A = this chain, B = another copy of it.
Amino acid sequence: MAAPRTGPSAGPSVKWRLTSSFPKSLDTIYGGAEQLADRLRELTGGKFDIRVFPAGEIVPGLQAMDAVQQATVECCHTASFYYVGKDRTFAFGTTLPFGMNARQTNAWMYYGGGQQLLDEFYAGYNFISFPGGNSGTQMGGWWRKEVNTVADLKGIKMRIGGLGGAVLSELGVVPQQIAAGDIYPSLEKGTIDAAEWIGPYDDEKLGFYKVAKNYYGPGWWEPSTCLQFFVNKKEWDKLPKEYQAAFKVAAAEANVTMTAEYDHKNPTALGKLLQNGVKLKPFSKEIMDASYTAAQKIFADESAKNPAFKKVYDSYTKYAKTQRAWFAVAEMPMDVFNQAHR
């Protein structure tokens, strides 16, 4: 039953479906799409009504983009890097190993031409995109055994996908594709040796600490993980201008508040994990350096053979370099000092 009209809007009734790549249990991420839909109804007196479906109800989570491309649904909430199997250029919408942090990513997307470059690429897939939430730097996952050297990585079966998996594969890791619900039993049985997921809040809920005590950080394959709303271009063009503005502004709100929500939830969850005997460890310098070098090789190889990748990579890396030169002056020294005094 629709809520009674109490507000002033008198726009056309527009009913859309949004397929999320995520289950409801990932409440912070899934909630970003619900927040967008709620806000759009609020802004339009219920007239622009997007129904949000969890992964699997309309299409599987990893086919959300295809559903938008084919106009099975008007829009989705996903992570572009799920589609690197089609083209590695899809990585940039979400993150890159050793890439920019959340603030730098927003700067590139909103002002540095990033979103525009991506939309040019996405035009071949019939959709446009909006940043729609960022988790910040993720964790380096749960490991049954300690790893200190690159030699320790040899033969490790790890649940990890995308470019992070490709990089680790250069170091001898055997990446595994495993759905969320199967990670815990696989870790428990020892079918896999390690698994990366998200960060303390989501990881704690899945209980990985019970079967793999070593929790590594940082998840250098996701220095910040930007989710996106993808909207079918033809459906977008049909929207009244007010509804386009409403979608855009609601996506920006979801973008900033998801980061804030994760930042709010993760510290408490981290505390719980530590109380449960989790061994928090930084990746060794040897592993970080080797991963960094392997990542650069993959980027160079891909740039040499994929002009679409090269075009976005050149913009991204140049931007990252100038961002870091500035962050080194004020933001980082401030953070470092405050950390030393906490």
- Which of A's residues lie within 8 Å of B, judged by CB? 6-12, 39, 42-45, 47, 98, 101-104, 106-112, 136-140, 199-200, 217-220, 223, 240-243, 245-246, 249-250, 252-253, 255-257, 259-261, 263-268, 270-271, 280, 282, 288, 292, 320-339, 341-342
Contact = CB atoms under 8 A, between A and B. Distances in A.
Contact of A10 (B6, B10, B139): B10
Contact of A8 (B12, B260, B321): B12
B110 A260 contact: yes
B6 A9 contact: no
Given A9-B11, A240-B7, A342 B329 contact: no
Most buried by B among A103, A107, A265, A338: A338
A7 to B, nearest CB: 4
B220 A110 contact: no
Contact of A326 (B267, B321, B328): B267
A237 to B, nearest CB: 15
Given A245-B43, A249-B43, A263 B342 contact: no
Q: Is the interface of A mostly helix, strand, loop or mixed?
A: helix
B45 A242 contact: yes
**This chain: copies in complex:** 2
Nearest to A101: B335
Contacts of A249: 39, 43, 249-250, 253
A108 B109 CA distance: 25
A167 to B, nearest CB: 14
A329 B256 contact: no
B43 A326 contact: no
Contact of A104 (B101, B263, B288, B327): B263
Most buried by B among A12, A268, A339: A339
Contacts of A329: 139, 217-218, 270, 280
Given A253-B249, A341-B292, A342-B321, A107 B334 contact: no
7 contacts: A7-B240, A8-B10, A98-B337, A108-B264, A109-B260, A139-B329, A267-B325
A266 B223 contact: no
B106 A331 contact: no
A261 B138 CA distance: 24
A198 to B, nearest CB: 11
Contacts of A101: 331, 334-335, 338
A98 B271 CA distance: 23
A332 to B, nearest CB: 6
Contact of A270 (B6, B98, B217, B326): B326
B338 A335 contact: no
Contact of A332 (B326, B339, B341): B339
Nearest to A45: B242
Contacts of A257: 106, 110, 252
A259 B325 contact: no
A333 B218 contact: yes
Contact of A322 (B271, B288, B336): B271
Top-9 shortest CB links A-B: A8-B11, A111-B264, A10-B10, A256-B256, A107-B263, A42-B245, A218-B334, A267-B322, A252-B253
Contact of A324 (B7, B223, B321, B338): B338
